[in-house]
Chain A
Amino acid sequence: MYISDIVDKIKKFPPFPDVVYKLLELLNKPDYKTEDVVKVISLDSLLTARILKLCNSPVYGFRKKITSVNRAVILLGRNTLTNLAISVCSSRYFDSSQEGYMLKRGELWKNSITSAFASELLAQKIGYDDTSLLFTSTLLKDIGKIILDSFVKEKNLVLKKKLEDNCKPFNEIEKEVFGYHHGEVGAELLERWNFPDIIIDAVHYHHEPEKAQIDRNLASLVQLADYTSMVLGIGAGIDGLQYKINLEELSNYRLSRLDIQQILIQLVDKIESIENFLSI
């Protein structure tokens, strides 16, 4: 069966650099200090340089160039700075094509970044506070696809047939064929990497937030952010848009069709200015 092969692959996956754990540790404390974030980031000069490049991206719209982490944290706030640091550290894992999912190099990363920005817009709309946890969970929601990709490639014909035969969501098809869907694989990986449980939970259940164990709100916001970029065709591979959305989760937020359309408009405007994020 595939499960043991998949688990083997998870074990061999290179872990995140230490700096990310330090940042996640901070994120998990409700009262973490700005200086602490600056201190952690400043220890890594390559990371600092990359973060500064992103701070100067048009998405933030500062006229004057930001040249230090200290300045960046004042202008952007600690949450955004932490998001940037985690983005920089995550991008390396997405630096390949996913032939099984039929995604060219960069497409999955573009989906991750676009969704992460969509999650910020959604959070703003409904007044959700924990934007950093949401950003990171959204950014890493599909990391399981990177591991599952070679298996998806092997079983391509079977998956295509199942996709054509019925309207089953692709995550359920994955589960049927491999015993794991990409949310579960991602969650396993993040667990191995000692990520906070709340992020693991959101990644695990981002296609079925009603089953989330820790925070259903977080999981369903990750889902909504994901679907917002899917609607724009960003990162839609062999699975296309074949995922399901749960009625109950949506009504919790009272998000209407028009709200989603407004968010799509805002997101398209943002996409033009996040080019820097695509080549971290």
Chain B
Amino acid sequence: MTRRKIIVGVGDMKISNDINAEISTLALGSCIGVAVYDPIVKVGGILHYMLPDSRVNPQKAIKNPYMFADTGIPRLFKKVYEYGAKKYNLIVKVAGGASILDDNKVFDVGKRNYLVLRKIFWKNNVLIDAEAVGGTLSRTMYLFINDGTLIINSPGKEKCVLCIFLILLIK
């Protein structure tokens, strides 16, 4: 079996139902990667958004909705539903949202990215099954479509499988 590697860029989204596919992000920095997976129909996808709110640049959001949490996240869910995924089956995992040490909060894109995500999920009754967010670590996500395994990789750290119910408190 040869793995088909699909890379999600910054402000990008990729969905697949090919069981040989491995979807991965670039290093996330303050961006956030949202991975969803339906184990019954074996479809999954990752959204890599950069900023919390599309109001900062509405034209950009029309051209590329995946750059923002508020315009990207709904599209991710809609797209996997089109592939046959069901909301009650979806496993949702989140990574990224690191920040520079900034008391002034001008560079706190990471924290804001995460807050907006929580807000959108709260409104839509979506629970996060596992997450590795915040702190100063840059993370990369790998999602395997055959069984939904999600691996997080950070420079200088062991690769880690992000299991359901495991909330990683990495600083």
Contacts and interface: CB of A to CB of B under 8 A. Distances in A.
A236 B109 contact: no
Interface of B: 10-11, 26-31, 50-51, 56-57, 60, 67, 98-110, 112, 135-138, 154-156, 171
Given A164-B171, A236-B155, A240-B136, A227 B10 contact: no
Contact of A233 (B26, B135, B156): B26
Contacts of B106: 245, 250, 255-257, 260
B101 A232 contact: no
A264 B109 contact: yes
B159 to A, nearest CB: 13
A247 interface: yes
11 contacts: A163-B156, A231-B100, A234-B27, A237-B155, A242-B136, A244-B100, A245-B102, A245-B107, A257-B105, A261-B56, A264-B50
Given A231-B29, A260-B109, A241 B155 contact: no
Interface string A187-230: 00000000000000000000000000000000000000001001
A233 B31 contact: yes
| Interface majority SS (helix, strand, loop, mixed), chain B | loop
Contact of A237 (B26, B103, B110, B156): B156
A242 B171 CA distance: 10
Nearest to A169: B101
A264 B101 contact: no
A169 B100 CA distance: 9
B101 A236 contact: no
A190 B137 CA distance: 30
A265 B60 contact: yes
A101 to B, nearest CB: 8
B41 to A, nearest CB: 31
Contact of A241 (B10, B100, B112): B100
